Structure 1
Amino acid sequence: MKSVPVLDLSYEIKELKPQLMQAFEDVLDAGTFIMGPNVKKFEQEVADYLGVKYAITLNSGTDAIIIGLLAAGIGPGDEVITTPFTFFATAEAISQVGATPVFVDVDELTYNIDLSQLEAVITERTKAIIPVHLFGHPVDMGLLLEIANKHQLLVIEDTAQAFGAEYHGQKVGTIGDIGCFSFFPSKNLGAYGDGGLLATNNEEFAVKAAMLRVHGSKKKYFNEIIGYNSRLDEMQAAVLRVKLPHIDKWNEGRRQAANTYKAMLSEVNGIVLPEEAGYAKHVYHQYTIRVNEGKREQVQAKLEQIGVSTMIYYPVPVHKLPVYRAMGAQMPKAEKLASEVLSLPIWPQIDPQIQSYVSSKLIESL
C-alpha cells in the first residue's frame, strides 16, 4: 500500500471541485475580497447551523479566543482557568490580553479538563473558564456551567477541534457565553487558509467583537477602541460556504471511521483507545490512542518507516513549555498523556482497507 497521511483532503477537493471553482470565479468576478457578501452570508448560515444569534468571522481561531476574552472584559489582573493539555494558543490568548492562565489537570478518559478539580483553583481574581473540547470530544458542559454559575464566572469555549460536536444534542461552542472556532485547513470544517469564528448569544459581546476585528470601529475611520485587523477574507468565506452543508455527513464519516478503528483495535494489548462519554457526540477531529509502557516513540518510528504517518498532539503540556514553566505547576495526568498519545490517520472518507492496514501495522509495531 502507498504511504498513508494523517489527513487526506484530496477526497473532499475532488468531490467539491466544480462548486469550489465556481465560488472562486464568482469572487473574482465580483472584485470584492474583504468583508464582502460571502462573509455576510456565511455568518448567517453558520449562525443558523450552530443555533446562535451572532457569528463573527475572524482571521483565526487564536484571534477568536483573544477577541472573545477582550469582548468579555477580561484583562490585566484577571485569572482564567483552562487545561494544560491543548494547543499553546489557548493559554497564549489569555496571556495576550494581560490575564493569567491557571491550569487544571485533565481527565484521562476524555483528555478534557477535570471538572472535579476546578473549584479548588477558583480565587477572587478568577473571571472565566476556557474549556477545550479536545480532539472533538465535548467537555461536560452541564457540570461546568453549574460550577461557573455558582461562582459567577464567564465560560468561553475553545471549540477549535469540535465543529459540529454536541453535548446532549446542543452544538458545543453555543453553550457557554462565547464559542471560539478555527477554520484551519485540517479542521473538521476547514478553509483553504486561515480563518476563525466567534459565536455568541450576547449582543454586547457580539458588537464589541465585531468592532475589535476592524481596528475598534463600527464605522470606517471612526475608531472608538483599540482593536485588531482580524477579518476572514472573501475567498475563504466562499470556500466555507461550499463546505458547510457537508459538515454533518463528514462528521458522521469520522465517527464511522472511529468505530472501525475500535472494532479492529479493541482487543489489542498495550494501547488505550479513545472513549465517548454518554453526554457527548464526538466528532473525532483526531483519533488519538495511548501507547503504554513508554513505547510511543518506538511505535511511531516503526510506522513512519513503512509510510504510515501519525502525529503527537501534544508532546509537551502547556504548563511545561518554556514560557509557563516558571509557574511550577504539576499536572501528572496531562504529563502522562503527553508521553503516550498518538493520533492515527483519519478523515471522513477514509477507506476501511486503509484503516485495516494502519491497524495491522500498528499491532506489528507494539
Structure 2
Amino acid sequence: MGTAESSITVPFLDLALQHQPLQEELRQAFERVLQTQQFVLGPEVEALERECAAYVGLPAAVAVSSGTDALLALLMALGVGPGDEVIVPTWTFFATAGVVARLHARPVFADVEPWGFGIRTEEVERCYSARTKVVLLVHLYGQIAPEVEAIRRLCQQYGITLVEDAAQAFGAQYRDGRGVGQFGCAAAVSFYPTKNLGAWGDAGMIVTADGELAQRLRLLRNHGMAERYVHQFVGGNFRMDAIQAAILRVKLRYLPRWNQQRRQIAHRYNQLFREIGLADTAGAQEFDEANRVLLPAELYAGQVDMPHIYHQYVVRVRRRDELRRYLVARGIGTEVYYPIPLHRQPAFRALGYRQRDFPVAERLAEEVLALPIYPTLTPAQQEAVVGAIADFFRRYD
C-alpha cells in the first residue's frame, strides 16, 4: 500500500479522463444542436426529459437551468411565499435554504442523523407549526435519506408537502427499489459538472409523477408563457440550453456503469481502511481504537442494486483539518462538505439560532472529510490515499 512518501498524486476530481473516451459521441451531439439551430429548450431538451423520466421510472421530467433553479421553481409552483415556513436540514448546501429565503418564506432548520445525514423524523415534528408548508428533504452524498418513509407519512398526517432535494442522488435507490421523486411531490436534481451525471455548465431537472405540476413547471421556467408572448403568471428564466442537454444525453448512457464503478471504489476504500487497522465496521458512529476513521454507512446494501451512488465518499475523522493539510502536502485532494452548518451562515444570522441548537451538525462540521472518488480513480491512487491517512495517524495520533 502507498505511504505518505508515495510519488502518486491524487486529484480530488478528474473530469478530463472521464470525457476522453466520449469525444466522438460528444462531437456528434454538438453537431445535432448546430443543425437544428435551437439552442434553448427544443428537441434535444425534450429528448433528455424523456430519457431522465424513464431512468427514474416516473412519467414526467422538466429540464431547468440548474439544481438551484429546480428547487426554486418547485417552491414557486407550490405557492411558497411570505408567511410560510419550510423545514430544511441545517446540514446541506446553502441553496436548499437559500431558495426558501429568496421567496421571502422562513427556512426552519432541523438537525440530521449522523449515519445517513438526513433529517430526523423527530426533528420534523419539533419544527412543525401551523405555518409549515413544505418539508425539503435532502438525499445527501448519493444516498436516499434514511428516514424518508417515516417523514413521508408524517407529512401526510400533517397535510404538508414533501419535496426532495436529490441534487446529489440521481440514480440512488431506497430499500424497496424506489428512486428519487417517488416519495414527495417531486425531486430536484442537479447536473452541475462535478455531479455523477454532470453537464459542462449549470443544468438541472425536476422529476415527478404529477402531470399538472410538471405542466405548471414548464410554464414557470419560461416566464409563465403558455403561448408566444402570452404570460399566464410571473415565472422566471429557468430554461436549459440544448448544448447541455446534448452532453447530458451522451453521458446518461454511461451513468449506470459509472455509478457501479463508484460503488466498487467505495467498497475498496472500506476494505483498505479495515486491512490497515483504521476501521472495523462501516457505519460505526463512535471513535475507538478499532475505528479511528468512521466509514460511510450503506443502509440498504444487498437489498437493491444502487443503495448508494457515492457522489461523495465521506468519512469522519478526528483532527480533520490537520489531516487535510497533511494530505494536500502530499498531492492528495480532499474537500469538506460542509465546514459551516446553515444555521451559522451569516446570511441566516437574523433567524436567531445558536450553535448548540444542532449538536449533530456541529460535530459533523468538525469531522467530515470527502476523499477522491470518480470512475477513473485507480487502485494505486486509492492505496496512496489510505496509506497517507494511516501514516498521519501513526505519526500524530
Q: Choose the corresponding residue for 2:158, options 151, 158, 163.
A: 151
- 1:298 aligned residue (298, 318, 322): 322
Q: What is the identity percentage for the equivalent residue pairs of Structure 1 and Structure 2?
A: 41
The alignment's C-alpha RMSD in Å is 1.3
The one of 301, 326, 338 equivalent to 2:365 is 338
Query: How far apart, in 1, do the equivalents of 2:378 and 2:208 lie?
Result: 37
Q: Partner amino acid for 1:205?
A: L
> CA contact under 8 A between 1:80 and 1:102: conserved in structure 2?
yes
- What does the per-residue CA deviation read over 1:81-100, in whole Å, with 9 as the maximum and x for residues that have no partner? 11001000000011111211
Q: 1:321 and 2:345 equivalent?
A: yes
Aligned counterpart, 1:123: 129
User: What is the DSSP-based 3-state SS (H/G/I as helix, E as strand, rest coil) of the residue aligned with 1:103?
Assistant: strand
Counterpart for residue 103 of structure 2: 97
- Between the aligned partners of 2:267 and 2:53, the Cα distance in structure 1 is 30
Check the 8 A contact 2:9/2:330 in 1, yes or no.
yes
Query: Which whole-Å CA distance do the structure 1 matches of 2:173 and 2:335 have between them?
Result: 25
Q: How does 1:211-250 map to 2 (within 5 A)?
A: 211-250=219-258
Task: Using the TM superposition, give the Cα deviation of residue 115 of structure 1 relative to its aligned residue in structure 2, in angstroms.
Answer: 1.9
1:189 lines up with 2:194 in the alignment: no
Of residues 14-23 and 309-318 in structure 1, the stretch that sits farther from structure 2 once superposed is: 14-23
SS at match of 2:138: coil
Aligned length: 364
Counterpart amino acid of 1:218?
A
SS of residue in 2 equivalent to 1:310: coil
Tell me, in whole angstroms, the C-alpha distance in 2 between the residues paired with 1:144 and 1:199: 19
Q: Which among 274, 288, 299 is matched to residue 277 of structure 1?
A: 299
Task: Give SS of 2:164's match.
Answer: strand
Q: Structure 1 residue 112 and structure 2 residue 118: aligned?
A: yes
Distance 2:119 2:375 in 1: 27
After TM superposition, give the deviation of residue 327 of structure 1 in Å.
2.3
Which contiguous aligned blocks of 4+ residues in structure 1 show a shift greater than 2 angstroms? 325-329
Cα distance in 2 for residues equivalent to 1:325 and 1:201: 37
Residue deviations 1:256-294 (CA, integer Å, cap 9, x gap):
1110000011330422111111378011100001112xx
Question: What is aligned with 1:162?
Answer: 169
Q: Does 1:83 align with 2:110?
A: no
Taking the aligned partners of 1:6 and 1:197, their CA distance within structure 2 comes to: 26
Gaps spanning 5+ residues in structure 1: where?
A: none
TM-score scaled by length of structure 1: 0.97
Deviations along 1:114-148, one digit per CA (max 9) or x if unpaired, are 22322121111111111111101111321111111
3-state SS of the aligned residue for 2:346? coil
**In structure 2, distance between residues paired with 1:143 and 1:226:** 35
Which amino acid is the alignment partner of residue 88 of structure 2?
Answer: T
1:173 and 1:181 in contact (8 A); partners too: no
Q: Which one-letter code corresponds to 2:316 in the other structure? A: R
Q: Which amino acid aligns with 1:307?
A: G
What SS class does the counterpart of residue 253 from structure 2 fall into? helix
Provide the rounded CA distance (Å) in 2 between the counterparts of 1:112 and 1:10. Answer: 32
After the TM superposition, which of the residue ranges 101-110 and 21-30 deviates more from structure 2?
Answer: 21-30
Mark the runs of 5 or more structure 2 residues left unpaired by the alignment.
1-6, 279-290
Preserved CA contact (<8 Å) 1:162 1:285: yes
Instruction: Give the alignment's TM-score, normalised by structure 2.
Output: 0.89
Q: Deviations over 1:210-263 (max 9, x none)?
A: 111101111121011111111110000000110111111111111111100000
**Is residue 392 of structure 2 the alignment partner of residue 365 of structure 1?**
yes
Question: For 2:252, what is the secondary structure of its paired residue?
Answer: helix
| Pairwise CA distance, 1:2 | 4.0
In 1, distance between residues paired with 2:352 and 2:371? 32
Give the equivalent residue in structure 2 for 1:289: 315
